[in-house]
Amino acid sequence: MARTLLRRAAENPLLARAVSGLERLDGKSPRLLRVLTYHRVDEGEPFARQLEHLAARYRVVSVAEVLNALDGGEALPPLSVLLTFDDAYTSFARVAWPILARHAFPAALFVPTAFPDSASERFWWDRVDQAFAATARRDELVAPAGRFPLATPEQRAAAHAAVKRWIKDRPHRETLAATDALCAELGVPGGAHEVLGWAELRRLAAEGVTLGAHTRTHPRLDRIAPEEARAELRESLRDLERELPGLARVFAYPDGRFSDDLVECARAAGVELAFTTRPGAVDLARCDRLRLRRIHVDARDSVAVLRAKLVLGAARWNRVRRLFDPPTSAERASERAGRAERRRVQFVARPLDAALTARLRPREALLPALRRVAGRASNYERVGVLVRQAARTPALEARLARALLDTAHLSLRGRVELLAYGSGTTVFRLEPERPGAAPRVLKIYRRTIGRDAHGLARIARRHRERHLHLRQRFGALVHPAEFLVLHGPLRGQPAVACTQEFLPGRLLDPLALGPGELAGYLASRPALAHALGEFARRALAWRARGLFPDLLGQGNLVVAERPEGARLLLIDYGVFDLRALAPGPRARLDALAERLHDLATRLEEHVALPR
């Protein structure tokens, strides 16, 4: 009823003008994320027009971007929207995904994992819909929900709505039994399977769709026993991990039904994002990431209805909505803990790291330094500049380092020396205590410093899986690494870390050389030229699938000079999802890809590369 009223109101010319006014007043805070949830998309229109509106006004982001923002990375752009599709209907691949791909829009698809390739599983509501649509029966239907005449289309529609509503509110096993009884009563057998198979899901994942779990058999989790609900959640995650290992662990509660107990079960299972159907937008600065709200959109909604729903998801309405749909005490506790963690990271952990690495920064005159502090610099940069100006002598720098470096809680034993800092890491040299052991590089991922144990475990898992993904694509060119959670050398602050073999001697960034200089360098190194050409070819083939290794940072791809010969190594493990990139980084990556294409072509003319 509420949806029908909204559709009628949205089409009213006066209210349409009001929606336009509210759109202009809508807040553009990067904290606010609108998550749209779809189910079936059986026809291209008006779904295609909905996406055209999103392309014109909003920025569609990926699950990876949302996770990055929640983990302290780059903030989402203003007016961000995440597109999610529940139930993994075959129509997603047939209708929705080609339209999404035309806009280069990322999407998340939630799969009831017992359904793919099953000959028996079928959604109960689809069976009910088909039974009423296909039945030839016109005499009165006597059902547990009541007595319903079926003589006219209007009577059948009324009976359909009433019976479906009654079935939905039964305990899950009763829902399935009542559906079987209804189909038998109406004389309509089960229809064709409508959920994507695993082969199709793998293809979609390879093309950039984020797959998430949606339980195994799609029960309403408040209509089954708590232990069954926990099993449905855990086993669906296992199914997805078995069929498509390495995915981010995202989950959607069927029909949006969940409990505090189930949320904690999801947290213990390593779920990184979980979506409800509670209406409203997500405030990334105060949300519980396992109770994310969504805005329901029907693929048949007009653009006017979509605009109205998006406006109702604005921040000002969220504050009103919380008064009528208040969070539970457990949700409030989770929100408070999240805010406290963010403050601790922002005002304690990162400033400590900035102070530690200040001596590695280039010196600058006092006036330009003060201008940077007063300008639009990050808190991390401000602290680094101020400490660099205050500790201008080696004695003060050494004293500061002694005050901040503390290896007492570090599980990796040995002498630790600050080596360098990058855009996202603080780098140490670890000299093991064991005689004859080779030194290691210890990289602390700066955004993880000071985070809680659950968050660190999630992030470490993602780093491991990304490293494995790169090894599968580029083989031995990817420098081996281990990822772990530890109490780091920065005053024992917990963090995610990476350890690698220390590469002694000269490290050369081949992509930092000009074309002529690089050609001269490779002329006497045919094996290295072959490796670089093969890397370029594989990176370009990966780019065609929407992914690209992070080659933007200088020194991410290096040539290590060794006595046995020069070796090409990828020592940074970032991966870009091209569909989710902002225009600036995307333009830089496109230029880099053009250079790799030119490089691969030139090398093929002089080196016999296998095809």
236 shares a domain with 180: no
Any domain includes 611: no
Any domain includes 275: yes
523 shares a domain with 490: no
Q: How confident is the model at residue 580 (pLDDT cuts 50, 70, 90)?
A: low
169 shares a domain with 143: yes
How far CA 245 is from CA of 178, 275, 468, 513, in Å, comes to 37, 21, 10, 38
Any domain includes 191: no
CA distance 7 to 309: 10
Q: At what angle are helices 172-186 and 153-168 packed, to 10 degrees?
A: 160
279 shares a domain with 428: no
204 shares a domain with 68: yes
Q: What pLDDT digit, counting tens, does each position of 405-453 carry?
A: 888 888 888 888 888 888 789 999 998 877 778 899 999 998 899 888 8
204 shares a domain with 269: yes
Q: What pLDDT digit, counting tens, does each position of 248-267 carry?
A: 899 999 998 899 999 999 99
CA distance 91 to 75: 33
The domain boundary, picked from 165, 186, 207, lies at 186
Report the predicted TM-score, pTM, of the whole model to 2 decimal places: 0.84
204 shares a domain with 154: no
CA distance 568 to 511: 12
CA distance 565 to 561: 6
Q: Give the 3-state DSSP-derived string for 269-324, with helices as H, strands as E and coil as C.
A: CCCCEEECCCCCCEECCCCCCCCECCEECCCCCCHHHHHHHHHCCCHHHHHHHHHH
Name every residue whose Cβ is closer than 8 Å to that of residue 336 and which is 6 or more positions away in sequence: none
488 shares a domain with 512: no
Structural Rg of the chain based on CA atoms: 28
**Which two structure tokens, joined as six digits, stand for 457?**
């475990």
**Which two structure tokens, joined as six digits, stand for 123?**
């959604």
Any domain includes 192: no
343 shares a domain with 304: no
395 shares a domain with 372: yes
Q: How confident is the model at residue 610 (pLDDT cuts 50, 70, 90)?
A: very low
The DSSP bridge partners found for residue 250 are 273
CA distance 411 to 419: 19
106 shares a domain with 138: no
- 527 or 367: whose pLDDT is higher? 527
Q: What is the pLDDT of residue 609?
A: 42
**Which two structure tokens, joined as six digits, stand for 318?**
């969220």
Which alpha helices (H) appear in 325-365, and where do they start and end? 329-344, 350-357
Give how many domains the chain has, as a whole number. Answer: 5
209 shares a domain with 92: yes
Q: What pLDDT digit, counting tens, does each position of 5-53 carry?
A: 556 555 666 666 666 666 666 667 778 899 999 999 999 999 999 999 9
Bridging pattern class, strands 282-283 and 32-38: antiparallel
The DSSP bridge partners found for residue 36 are 83, 295
Domain span at residue 397 reads 338-404
Residue 607 has pLDDT above 60, yes or no: no
The domain boundary, picked from 384, 404, 424, lies at 404
Q: How many CB atoms lie within 10 A of CB 119?
A: 6
Q: Torsion over CA of 463, 250, 318 and 332, rounded to 10 degrees?
A: -80
Q: How confident is the model at residue 314 (pLDDT cuts 50, 70, 90)?
A: low
Q: Scanning the structure block, which residue is given the tokens 């997805």?
A: 240
Q: What is the pLDDT of residue 96?
A: 96
Q: What is the pLDDT of residue 608?
A: 46
The domain boundary, picked from 454, 477, 502, lies at 502
Q: What pLDDT digit, counting tens, does each position of 466-508 carry?
A: 899 899 899 999 999 999 999 988 888 999 999 999 988 788 8
**Which two structure tokens, joined as six digits, stand for 95?**
């209708």
Q: Give the 3-state DSSP-derived string for 10-33, with helices as H, strands as E and coil as C.
A: HHCHHHHHHHHHHHHHCCCCCCEE
